[in-house]
Structure 1
Amino acid sequence: MRAFLLSVFLLVISLPALACGPETRCEVTGGYYLAAVPDGWDGKSPLALVVYFHGWNSSPEATFRNKAMVNGVTGRNALFIAPFAERGYWRQIGDGRAEPGRDEAAFIRAVLQDVRKRWPVDEDRTLASGFSRGASTVWNVACYMGDEFRGYAPIAGGFWRSNPETCPSGPVNLRHIHGLADSVVAFDEIGIYNSMAITDGIDILSTLNGVSGESRAVDSGDGRLDCERWDGSRSGRVLELCLHEGGHSIPAEWVAQGLDWLEALPDGS
Structure 2
Amino acid sequence: MNKLSLFNRLAGLSLLLNFTAAGCDGGAVVASSSAVPIVSSTASSSSSLPPASSSIAVSSLASSSASSVGETIPAGATLVYAVNVGGPQTTLGGVEYQADRFARGGTQNATTSAIAGTDEDTLYQTERYGTLSYEIPVSNAAYSVKLHFVEMYQTTTGSRLFSATVEGEPAVQNLDIFQEVGGNTAYDVIVPAVSVADNALTLQLDTAIDNATLSGFAIYSNDGGVFEEPPTPEPGEALPSIGCGTSKTLQDGRRNISVNGGNRSYILRTPANYNNQTPYRLVMAYHWLNGNAEQVANGGMGGSTDDPFYGLWDLADNSTIFVAPEGLNSGWANTGGADIRLTDAILAELESELCIDKSRIFATGFSYGAGMSNAIACARGDVFRGVALYAGAQLSGCDGGTTPIAYFGAHGLSDSVLNISQGRSLRDRFAANNNCSATNAPEPANGSGSHICTEYQGCDDGFPVTWCAFDGDHYPTQKDRGQSKSWIPGEAWKFISQF
Instruction: Tell me if TM exceeds 0.5.
Output: yes
Aligned 8 A contact 2:273 2:318 in 1? no
Aligned to 2:364: 129
Aligned to 1:79: 321
Q: Deviation at 1:42?
A: 3.1
Matched, 1:103 2:328: no
Structure 1 residues 195-206: aligned runs within 5 Å: 197-206=422-431
Q: Deviation at 1:184?
A: 0.9
Q: Deviation at 1:120?
A: 0.5
Structure 1 residues 14-29: aligned runs within 5 Å: 18-22=249-253, 24-29=254-259
**Counterpart Cα distance in 1 of 2:399 and 2:249:** 41
Aligned to 2:308: 69
The change in CA–CA distance for 1:240 and 1:203 in structure 2 (over 3 A counts) is same
Matched AA of 2:252: G
**Counterpart Cα distance in 2 of 1:74 and 1:32:** 24
Q: Match of 1:35, SS?
A: strand
Q: Which structure shows the bigger proportion of residues in helix conformation?
A: 1
**Counterpart Cα distance in 2 of 1:87 and 1:132:** 15
**Counterpart Cα distance in 2 of 1:118 and 1:255:** 28
Q: Deviation at 1:49?
A: 0.7
Aligned to 1:209: 434
Q: Match of 1:34, SS?
A: strand
Structure 1 residues 168-183: aligned runs within 5 Å: 168=402, 170-183=403-416
Deviations 1:115-147 (A, max 9, x none): 112211123432110010000011111011112
Aligned 8 A contact 1:215 1:229 in 2? no
Q: Match of 2:382, SS?
A: helix
Aligned to 1:220: none
Q: Deviation at 1:34?
A: 0.6
Matched AA of 1:214: T
Choose the corresponding residue for 2:498, options 258, 264, 267. 264
Q: Match of 1:52, SS?
A: strand
Q: Deviation at 1:166?
A: 6.4
TM-score normalised according to structure 2 size? 0.42
**Counterpart Cα distance in 2 of 1:237 and 1:255:** 20
The change in CA–CA distance for 1:76 and 1:178 in structure 2 (over 3 A counts) is farther
Choose the corresponding residue for 1:145, options 380, 384, 400. 380
Aligned to 2:459: 233
Q: Deviation at 1:234?
A: 4.5
**Counterpart Cα distance in 1 of 2:365 and 2:420:** 16
**Counterpart Cα distance in 1 of 2:369 and 2:419:** 15
Q: Deviation at 1:264?
A: 2.0
Deviations 1:169-225 (A, max 9, x none): x1111000111121111102xxxxxxxx222222222222222242478xxxxx953
The change in CA–CA distance for 1:204 and 1:35 in structure 2 (over 3 A counts) is same
Q: CA RMSD in A?
A: 2.8
The change in CA–CA distance for 1:38 and 1:224 in structure 2 (over 3 A counts) is farther
TM-score normalised according to structure 1 size? 0.74
Aligned 8 A contact 2:411 2:469 in 1? yes
Aligned 8 A contact 2:271 2:320 in 1? yes
**Counterpart Cα distance in 2 of 1:113 and 1:224:** 41
Aligned 8 A contact 1:49 1:78 in 2? yes
**Counterpart Cα distance in 1 of 2:398 and 2:440:** 23
**Counterpart Cα distance in 1 of 2:330 and 2:411:** 22
Matched AA of 2:308: M
Q: How many residues align?
A: 226
Q: Which structure shows the bigger proportion of residues in strand conformation?
A: 2
**Counterpart Cα distance in 1 of 2:329 and 2:489:** 23
Instruction: Report % sequence identity.
Output: 23
Choose the corresponding residue for 1:36, options 269, 282, 289. 269
Q: Deviation at 1:40?
A: 2.3
Runs of 4+ in 1 over 4 A off after TM superposition: 163-166
Q: Which runs of 5+ in 2 are unaligned?
A: 1-247, 301-306, 443-448, 478-485
**Counterpart Cα distance in 1 of 2:256 and 2:275:** 21
Matched AA of 1:42: N
Pick the structure with greater CA Rg. Answer: 2
Q: Deviation at 1:106?
A: 1.3
